Amino acid sequence: MACQVIADTTQPLLLASSSVYRRRLLEQLRIPFSFASPDVDESVLADESPTAYVSRLAIAKAHAMRSSYPAHWIIGSDQTCVLDGHIVGKSGSFDVAMTQLLQASGKAVVFYTGVCLLNARTGQQWQHVEPFTVHFRALAEEEIRHYLHLEQPYDCAGSFKVEGLGIQLFQSLQGRDSSSLIGLPLIALLDLMREAGLQPLLSAR
């Protein structure tokens, strides 16, 4: 009979991100962690698919912190969305967000969120890409303008906050884990942690 390998749960946990949204999600697990921001070029490579893009960046962000946190479990994550066959990132401004949401009106937008769990001590890594589809209802320009002025979601892929007023923009949501829309797919992360031999529920405080 094969024995289950239990990983060293005394290794501290690091979130390789400065995103307040990812921190809030990870806090839900009630596992102590620290966080730091990796310095990674997030440019899309030529002919790179959305899944390859977010997987590469999630892995790169985790590995970017390995030398500074050599005794940690490190979580890296990245997200993008695809609209009309094109990768769409954070808008960064009202005008770009307005354009993005006008284009998304009445359409399905697929989000891809990559997550990587790295054991900095051994170099072993586990990774996954979580898809999630948002079906937008037909949006009036006045509605979009009002929404953007109220919530200002310019630091979010797709230009909305599903955990906030952005829920009013949707007709339906389709996917396994809505936390992936906020930037960190918790169900997938927990799967990776258990696969790596960790016991996340027993680590909760």
Per-residue pLDDT band at 1 (split at 50, 70, 90): very low
Q: Does residue 78 carry a catalytic annotation?
A: yes
Q: Higher confidence at residue 8 or residue 82?
A: 82
pTM assigned to the model = 0.89
Structurally, what CATH architecture does the domain formed by 13-197 represent? Alpha-Beta Complex (3.90)
Mean pLDDT over the full length of the chain: 92
Please give, one letter per residue, the 3-state secondary structure of the chain.
CCCCCCCCCCCCEEEECCCHHHHHHHHCCCCCCEEECCCCCCCCCCCCCHHHHHHHHHHHHHHHCCCCCCCCEEEEEEEEEEECCEEECECCCHHHHHHHHHHHCCCEEEEEEEEEEEECCCCCEEEEEEEEEEEECCCCHHHHHHHHHHHCCCCCECCCCCCCHHHHHEEEEEECCCHHHHCCCHHHHHHHHHHCCCCHHHHCC
What integer pLDDT is reported at residue 9 of this predicted model?
Answer: 58
Read off the pLDDT of each residue in 136-152 and give the average, rounded to a whole number.
96
Decide if pLDDT at 58 tops 60.
yes
Q: For 146-155, what is each residue's pLDDT tens digit?
A: 999 999 999 8
Where exactly are the structural domains of the chain? 13-197
Per-residue pLDDT band at 164 (split at 50, 70, 90): confident
Decide if pLDDT at 3 tops 70.
no
- Annotated catalytic residue, options 39, 78, 84, 177: 78
Per-residue pLDDT band at 136 (split at 50, 70, 90): very high
Per-residue pLDDT band at 18 (split at 50, 70, 90): confident
% of the chain residues with pLDDT over 90? 77
What integer pLDDT is reported at residue 158 of this predicted model?
Answer: 85
Q: Higher confidence at residue 145 or residue 181?
A: 145
Decide if pLDDT at 53 tops 50.
yes
Decide if pLDDT at 22 tops 90.
yes
What integer pLDDT is reported at residue 7 of this predicted model?
Answer: 58
